[in-house]
Structure 1
Amino acid sequence: MSIMIGIDHGYYAIKTAHCSFPAGLTSYGEHEPYTRQGLLEFGGCFFVCGTGRQPIQRDKTANDNYYLLTLAAIAKEIRQRGLPPECSVRIAAGLPLTSFGRDKPKFKDYLLRSNQPVNFKFEGVEYSITIEEVAVFPQGYAALMTEMGLLQDEPSMLLMDLGGWTVDLMRIDNAIPAADTAHSLELGMIRCVDDIREQVRRETGLSLTDAQIENMLAGQPCTVSDTVRDIVNRQGRKYTEHLLSATMEAGFDLHAIPAVLLGGGASVVSRHLSPKDGLCKTIFLLDDKVNAVGFERALAAVSRRKSEA
């Protein structure tokens, strides 16, 4: 029996139902690196997965990076579930609705390669994985399968998936995606973090790391001065205002229809919204793994319908 594994291939992080790690990848060629944490051995080469973030790659199939990160994600999820390292897997992945029809065949072929099983080693454990199937679903909308009640409660709602590089917007009417309303803004968390880093450097001369900024945006502990923390919070509010304004300019009236916010940036917006924004209603799905869970449930539903037919 094959295992269903949902994978959300973000610009900022790779997520499965139980794991999340940065989408960075460092190649060491044929030379074994200093660490075994995140260490992937594949095709005679060594890679460390989850270190920082890689440059923005609009076409995720342009090189092998996202394929290698997929292998790491499968290994992490299998280990988390206590399953054997030799097994068959069905991948449930996702793409933004704005590029779904165009990129789906290419992304499917990219993940489903002809050489099966795929043999690799991750963090010292040898894996032999047969990828039987790759199913691709719309990001954001698939995540709503984790909260089915949301679709039944409102005739219209706006879905806002706040990812690493983009914020994907789509209106849903009577539980059906209005495909012609799909819109993508380049206002993801990478942009927010980079703007904060630059503002802190400009005002204080200090160079913060991504991890420090992310912790402060999430309201978590970080040893910095109150001045720096105030700058970060001020910029977090500025980012939220910019996002709301850009969403309205894209034709979505946030004063008139409820909005469901998910993805890594949802927690930032949730902390920096103000009553004066006058939004109709905001619902936050704050688990950054919600898309991956949704992909799995979508694949399970498709499989169930096929077996009943």
Structure 2
Amino acid sequence: MKEFNNTKIIGIDHGYGNMKTANCCFPTGVAAYDKEPVFKDNMLVWNGRYYLIGIEHKEFKAEKMLDEDYYVLTLAAIARELNIVKLYSADVFIAAGLPLTWVSEQKEEFKKYLLQHETADYTFRGKEYHIRIVGADIYPQGFAAIVNNLSDFSGVNMLCDIGNGTMNVMFVNDKKPNPAKCYTEKFGTHKCMLEVRENLMRVHHTEPPEEMITRVLRFGTADIDSAYLKTIIDTAREYAAVIFRRLRDYGYDPKLMKLYIVGGGGCLIRNFADYDESRVIINDDICATAKGYERMLEMKLFRIGGKV
């Protein structure tokens, strides 16, 4: 979180797998109830309804404005950032983003979605919040994750942002993004998860908890039967190999350029891909994109004289 003229700048990365802010990360899931639920961990109360944050798994939708879920998740993200500094009433400027090639078409609609209520009074984790949303700006995913270390991008570079739902690819040459070479496709880590589950069912006739599969994908191993582990690892290696094949289709050549990987999918590349560590840089900071959103909005406000 940053501050500009008494306004809190809060970057929010609305991922399909996880919501990220500069300091927090939590699952992109929300379950709504008309009556107070029995279990109240991560409960948000707003507009007379009860929401359990991080519950269930939100399905992939190309447009995030189709229901109120991402708005409720936005309120939770703001609360988590404000709670770090023990602040429960604030003016907030949201810095958010969309996949690279979707920004131009969906930017205004997503901005309108985030600004649908000027004020929001709600309770999260037993604490009351009173916020005024004074603005929202939308930036391109992927590029935001490297804006704080753009000086490292001399020469020819390919940037690959692997999220849960999408993979974004762009070229950054001599510290400048190339808008003519930006690509987005639905090939995020959730695709790998689905393939793992399918292979486990086909080979072993079992469907283990998603949390167990996620642990293998994140750390490369888990305390499970060796045959199950091998199936997961083999599937993840094939997914990682396909990632590199797709990057080559977009012009990736390790002899001519460096590859920078950001997003949650970086752990799959690190754990299961074959690559030259001197030519492939993996950013393990899952909050890097949210931090980049904040920095880009901060620079914009300085540039325009601070008129929120």
Whether TM-score is above 0.5 comes out as: yes
The code of the aligned residue for 2:89 comes to E
Say which SS state the counterpart of residue 253 (structure 2) adopts: coil
Correspondent of 2:15 among 10, 18, 40: 10
5 Å-filtered alignment, 1:171-182, equals 171-182=171-182
Residues 265-303 of structure 1 deviation map (CA, whole Å, 9 limit, x = unaligned):
01111111225xx68811111111110011111111112
Contact 1:160-1:168 at 8 Å conserved across structures:
yes
Counterpart Cα distance in 2 of 1:87 and 1:308:
17
The size of the alignment, in residue pairs, is 302
1:204 and 1:31 mapped to 2: Cα distance?
Answer: 41
CA RMSD across the alignment:
1.8
TM-score, normalized by length of structure 2? 0.93
Question: Which stretches in structure 2 are left out of the alignment for 5+ residues?
Answer: 1-5
How far apart, in 1, do the equivalents of 2:209 and 2:294 lie? 33
Structure 2 matches for 1:199-210, cutoff 5 A? 199-210=199-210
Deviations 1:221-276 (A, max 9, x none): 6331111111111111110001111121233334431111000101111111225x
Q: What letter is aligned with 1:139?
A: Q
Q: 1:7-65 CA deviation, whole Å, 9 max, x = no partner?
A: 0001111100111111111111x211122212111111111111231111111011111
Contiguous gaps of at least 5 residues in structure 1: none
Q: How many angstroms apart in 1 are the aligned matches of 2:190 and 2:264?
A: 10
Contact 1:255–1:280 (CA<8 Å) still a contact in 2?
A: no
Q: Any conservation in 2 of the 1:157–1:171 contact (CA below 8 Å)?
A: yes
Give TM-score scaled by structure 1 length: 0.93
- Displacement of 1:177 in angstroms is 1.2
Within 2, Cα distance between the matches of 1:137 and 1:308?
18
Q: CA deviation at 1:198?
A: 1.3
> Which of these residues, 57, 63, 67, is aligned with residue 67 of structure 2?
63
Picking from 123, 126, 132, the partner of 1:124 is 126
Counterpart residue type for residue 124 of structure 1: G
Give the aligned residue type for 1:94. G
Percent of paired sites with the same residue? 28
What pairs up with 1:1-309 in 2 under 5 angstroms?
1-28=6-33, 30-79=34-83, 81-113=84-116, 115-151=117-153, 154-219=154-219, 222-275=222-275, 281-307=279-305
Tell me the alpha carbon deviations over residues 196-224 of structure 1, each in whole angstroms, 9 at most, x when there is no partner: 11111211122122211111112266331
AA matched with 1:34? V
Helix, strand or coil at the partner of 1:157? strand
Shift of 1:135: 1.2
